């Protein structure tokens, strides 16, 4: 299963001006429903061609632009889909497609940038999390969403105590040395040195070995997660979890973990146990946003708004700290950055874009948090609510 991170989708968000085609469709991995998908796909391609012609392209130019997407339409492609949703992004110099674990509504958007709002449930704070499965012999790290989990390789992260402490197989039992991870370390607890023991190490010495092991893991994860804010769930036997918490420097480590031997758990089993832990945290974070918004809204601070015409320029100029936006809705119109003027249209007109997508995109690009929710979860029955940085 595939996960789209902020880093992976950044090229979509930063594409230069031009004809950018975004296609979303539901898919049916199981037969016989899969037979409907090629028909649906062809109809969406025809709709994209028509919109490109409306945007000023000749019909043959529109077909040429879409050719890489058209070439996907083979029996093997549909049989191997394996996910309930398909997203395709096409421009003059860019082509990507993603089978994804979301049952998208059919949608074709042609504007001067890609349309990413349907991806928000797996792109940002109310979707992504990490799992660190701790074992003395097999350490694994995963990135997950509500729907998926993938194992991720972390540079310089040891897989076992032996690898971390670089045991000398020719030494007597109980002799080993602790070495810094590659590239050195700023962690004063992880310095080159030696420990010597007679026979089996006692309990205190064994715990010290594990602590040093965990400091090395934490340092590797620090490099990986230094700009992240997604929650991290620990999985491991009960006595290991508090030892890792002593070594941990990641601010978003969840207080609740998965106890038991993670070596016997598959990635999917880890996901099934981790998701209820992080889901509660996501719901709490979203509720905190709503409470804070209601406190700020209507006051004289000017730090909260549900007026799209006010929020769009704020998002464009990096003022939006966090945003609540409705999924499954569009607000067509135009934004002129020079005059900071927003034009709202009841129906889509030539050159329009979805302004809800615009505000979500710029909030993400500028490091803000976006909560993509059903419309009924937004206060005061508006499609958007924002808290400003200043």
Are 137 and 265 in a shared domain? yes
Q: How many residues does the chain have?
A: 390
Question: What would the 3-class secondary structure string for 5-49 be?
Answer: CHHHHHHHHCCCCCCEEEEEEECCCCCCHHHHHHHHHHHHHHHHH
- Domain co-membership, 273 together with 144: yes
Q: How many domains does the chain have?
A: 3
265 shares a domain with 141: yes
Question: Do 243 and 190 share a domain, yes or no?
Answer: yes
Among 88, 116, 144, the domain boundary falls at 116
Which pLDDT tens digit goes with each residue over 100-125?
878 888 999 998 888 888 888 776 55
How many CB atoms neighbour CB 199 within 10 A? Answer: 8
In-domain check, residue 305: yes
Is the per-residue pLDDT at 312 higher than 90? yes
Cα 319 to Cα 149: distance, rounded to the nearest angstrom:
33
CATH of the domain at 64: 3.30.960
Task: Output 91 or 193, whichever has higher pLDDT.
Answer: 91
Q: Yes or no: say if 389 and 321 are a contact pair by the CB < 8 Å rule.
A: yes
Using only C-alpha atoms, what is the Rg of the chain?
Answer: 25
Residue that is last in its domain, among 70, 86, 116:
116
Which of 230, 249, 281 terminates a domain? The answer is 281
Domain-embedded: residue 288: no
Q: Are residues 86 and 226 in the same domain?
A: no
Which token pair is 147? 């729907």
Is residue 59 domain-shared with residue 137, that is, in the same domain? no
CB-CB contact of 296 with 303 (8 Å): yes
Q: What is the CATH number of the domain that holds 237?
A: 3.30.420
124 in any annotated domain: no
pLDDT tops 70 at residue 182? no
Residue 335 lies in a domain: yes
Same domain as 134, residue 110: no
Average pLDDT score over residue span 137-144: 93
Q: Are residues 321 and 361 in the same domain?
A: yes
Q: Which of 87-101, 165-179, 307-321 has the lowest mean pLDDT?
A: 165-179
| Span 28-42, average pLDDT | 77
pLDDT of residue 368: 86
Average pLDDT rounded to a whole number, residues 46-50: 97
For every residue of 71-96, DSSP letters joined together read TT-SHHHHHT--SSEEEEEEETTEEE
- The string of pLDDT tens digits covering residues 360-374 is 988 888 888 888 888
Residues 89 and 134 in one domain: no
Can you give the CATH number for the domain in which 322 is found?
3.30.1330.30
According to the model, what pLDDT value does residue 16 have? 61
Give the residue numbers spanning the domain of 206.
129-281
Quickly state the pLDDT bin for 69 (edges 50, 70, 90).
very high
- The proportion of the chain whose per-residue pLDDT surpasses 70, expressed as a percent, equals 85
Residue 298 is predicted with a pLDDT of 76
For residue 119, give the DSSP letter: G
**Is residue 290, in this structure, part of any structural domain at all?**
no
Which tens digit of pLDDT belongs to each residue from 236-246? 999 999 999 99
Asked if residue 146 belongs to a domain, the reply is yes
Instruction: Answer yes or no: do 270 and 307 share one domain.
Output: no
33 shares its domain with 105 = yes
* Torsion of Cα atoms, 101 then 104 then 109 then 115, to 10°: -40
What is the 8-class DSSP label of residue 288?
H
Residue 309 lies in a domain: yes
122 found inside a domain: no
pLDDT exceeds 80 at position 356? yes
Residue 169 shares a structural domain with residue 197: yes
* 376 pLDDT above the threshold of 50: yes
């Amino acid at each position: 299963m595939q996960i789209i991170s902020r880093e992976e989708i950044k090229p979509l968000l930063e594409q230069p001006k031009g004809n950018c085609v975004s296609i979303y469709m539901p898919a049916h991995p199981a037969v016989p429903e899969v037979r409907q998908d090629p028909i649906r796909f062809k109809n969406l391609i025809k709709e994209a061609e028509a919109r490109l012609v409306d945007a000023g392209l000749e019909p043959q130019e529109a077909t040429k632009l879409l050719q890489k997407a058209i070439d996907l339409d083979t029996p093997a492609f549909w049989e191997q889909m394996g996910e309930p949703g398909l997203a395709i992004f096409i421009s003059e110099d860019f082509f990507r497609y993603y089978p994804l674990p979301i049952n998208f509504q059919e949608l074709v958007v042609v504007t001067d940038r890609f349309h990413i709002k349907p991806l928000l449930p797996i792109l940002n704070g109310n979707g992504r999390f990490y799992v660190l499965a701790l074992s003395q012999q097999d350490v694994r790290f995963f990135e997950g969403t509500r729907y998926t989990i993938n194992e991720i390789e972390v540079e310089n992260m040891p897989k076992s105590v032996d690898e971390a402490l670089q045991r000398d197989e020719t030494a007597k039992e109980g002799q080993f040395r602790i070495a810094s991870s590659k590239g050195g370390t700023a962690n004063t607890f992880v310095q080159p040195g030696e420990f010597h023991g007679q026979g089996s190490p006692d309990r205190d010495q064994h715990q010290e070995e594990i602590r040093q092991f965990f400091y090395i893991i934490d340092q590797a994860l620090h490099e990986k997660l230094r700009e992240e804010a997604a929650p991290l769930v620990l999985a491991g036997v009960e006595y290991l979890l508090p030892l890792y918490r002593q070594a941990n420097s990641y601010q978003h480590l969840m207080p609740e973990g998965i106890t038991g031997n993670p070596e016997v758990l598959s990635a999917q089993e880890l996901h099934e146990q981790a998701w209820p832990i992080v889901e509660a945290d996501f719901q709490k974070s979203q509720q905190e946003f709503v409470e804070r918004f209601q406190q700020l809204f209507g006051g004289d601070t000017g730090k909260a708004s549900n007026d799209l015409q006010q929020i769009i320029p704020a998002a464009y100029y990096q003022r939006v700290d966090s945003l609540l936006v409705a999924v499954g809705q569009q607000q067509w119109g135009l934004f002129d950055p020079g005059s900071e003027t927003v034009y709202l249209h009841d129906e889509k007109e030539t050159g329009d874009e979805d302004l809800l997508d615009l505000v979500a995109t710029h909030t993400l690009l500028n490091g803000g948090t976006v909560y993509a929710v059903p419309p009924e979860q937004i206060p005061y029955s508006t499609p958007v609510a924002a808290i400003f940085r200043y």
